[in-house]
Chains A and B, each alone.
Chain A
Amino acid sequence: MTPEAIKDLLAAKLAADVGWNDELAGDPFATVEADKWHEACRIAKDEPELFFDFLRAQTGTDYPDDGSIEVVVHLFSYKNRHSFVLKTRVDRKKPLVQSVQDLWPAANWYEREIFDLLGVEFSGHPDLRRLVLPEDWVGHPLRKDYKEQDSYQGISTLRPGYARVEAGGKKKKKKKKAKTAEPKPEEPKPEESKPEESKPEEPKPEEPKPEESKPEESKISKPSGDGEDEV
């Protein structure tokens, strides 16, 4: 079936409005209201003419301008050899949507990931915990307004002497140490003679050394040609 025919059949079975967009680049997609989400997915899976038995992917996207978060399922039917994209939108302030884990068990981890990174709650999910980030993480990093914490478990999230890069790379503050990103333990010697002390740079070349090994040169890492140009 063509995606449009799938949409029409889905709308007829659901007895509700189903949005349709085939103008954007990529797959055309249908949108349903959040409270019809589980019902629409169930029809897509159980209806013999649709029979979407495979959940290819489930993702989420943050749209802060619309105040909403979009949840997307990419479906495929092995029997009927067609695929479909179905979307819904939830309120960004209180993102709650029905879980489809009971239809496709594969959705279990997908929904955990969306919960982890975007903070969408899935009602009916049996085990809604963070998937990739640690349990004690603060915030949901794929939200556009996410702000990095200053420290995690007592570790600074910023290297001494570095400026923070803003999310999305919009207003990238002058990143002072971008060039000399490697901590160069060999610096201390020539640095004393150098008069330049303009920037708060040199991320602490001597700090992590153990004191007992006196000769500094022993810790010099060999400048192996291609090492400098990272970032």
Chain B
Amino acid sequence: MSSSDDMVDDKVKVEQGPNGGAVAGPIDSLFNLARKNSLWYLLFGTACCAIELMQTGGPRTDTDRFGMVFRPTPRQADVLILAGTITYKMASRIRRLYDQMAEPKYVISMGSCANTGGLFQASYSVLKGGDLIVPVDVYLPGCPCRPESLTEGLMLVQQIIEKEPWLKKAWGKVPAPKDPWPEESRECKDDS
């Protein structure tokens, strides 16, 4: 957790008047405040980390209290959680899910397999890390990582969001992240 000085929220000052409050601050912080508190993640898992992903949605860690709820479709999701071992057969499907998500979008690489291939990195069929196909924002170690860890990962995404110059980004003033697997280098058929 970073210190509270970095938080954009602190720039928002509430002037208390006799008849109520007024807020002054950058418009970004208002957008980001709304965005970070409705962080919807895609309910999608490729292997056993998905069990911990389900557990994270349960009552003990209860990510609902941060506004994080799962969505069954990438069209409505903000965060793609790479939960589990990714095979090469699955790689193009995951990329398609990522492409179907609307901007702004974030990716969490959950667990050792999604980070580097993990336990299965000597296997012929396993992708050696999710960041070879999609740009990853947060890496979580663990095999699998515990629900507390995933919750923290989601909160790190919240921290990324709250520091983002959102208006600049919306106007295209911020360069897009480097795509590790751009469309021209994909050798897969479209229907794969």
- The number of residues on chain B lying at the interface, defined by a beta carbon within 8 Å of a beta carbon of chain A, is 58
A190 at the interface (CB under 8 A from B): no
Q: How far is the CB of B35 from chain A (nearest CB, A)?
A: 13
Given contacts A153-B91, A154-B185, A183-B129, contact A210 B177 (CB under 8 A): yes
Q: How far is the CB of A107 from chain B (nearest CB, A)?
A: 23
Contact among B92, B129, B152, B177 for A159, CB-based, below 8 A: B129
Interface 0/1 of B137-159, CB less than 8 Å to A = 11111110110110011001001
> Chain A: residues with CB nearer than 8 A to chain B?
132-134, 136, 141, 146, 148, 152-159, 162, 165, 169, 181-185, 203, 207-215, 217-224, 226-228, 230-231
Query: Is there contact, CB below 8 Å, between B131 and A207?
Result: yes
Give CA–CA (A223, B140) in the complex, Å.
8
For window 23-82 of B, CB contacts with A under 8 Å fall at none
Q: How far is the CB of B23 from chain A (nearest CB, A)?
A: 24
Residues of A within 8 A of B156 (CB): 218-221
Contact among A158, A207, A210, A227 for B145, CB-based, below 8 A: A227
Residues of A within 8 A of B180 (CB): 207-208
Give CA–CA (A91, B73) in the complex, Å.
49
Residues of A within 8 A of B131 (CB): 183, 207-208
Query: Is there contact, CB below 8 Å, between B141 and A221?
Result: yes
Residues of B within 8 A of A217 (CB): 2
Give chain A's interface secondary structure class.
loop
Q: How far is the CB of A225 from chain B (nearest CB, A)?
A: 9
Give CA–CA (A203, B136) in the complex, Å.
14
Instruction: Show 6 A/B contacts (Cβ-Cβ < 8 Å), sorted by A.
Output: A152-B88, A155-B91, A182-B141, A183-B131, A211-B177, A224-B142
Contact among A158, A207, A220, A230 for B143, CB-based, below 8 A: A230
Residues of B within 8 A of A153 (CB): 88, 91-92, 186-188
Query: Is there contact, CB below 8 Å, between A231 and B119?
Result: yes
B20 at the interface (CB under 8 A from A): no
Contact among A158, A211, A222, A227 for B112, CB-based, below 8 A: A227
Residues of A within 8 A of B174 (CB): 211-212
Give CA–CA (A184, B174) in the complex, Å.
25
Give CA–CA (A158, B156) in the complex, Å.
28
Query: Is there contact, CB below 8 Å, between A159 and B164?
Result: no
Q: How far is the CB of B174 from chain A (nearest CB, A)?
A: 4
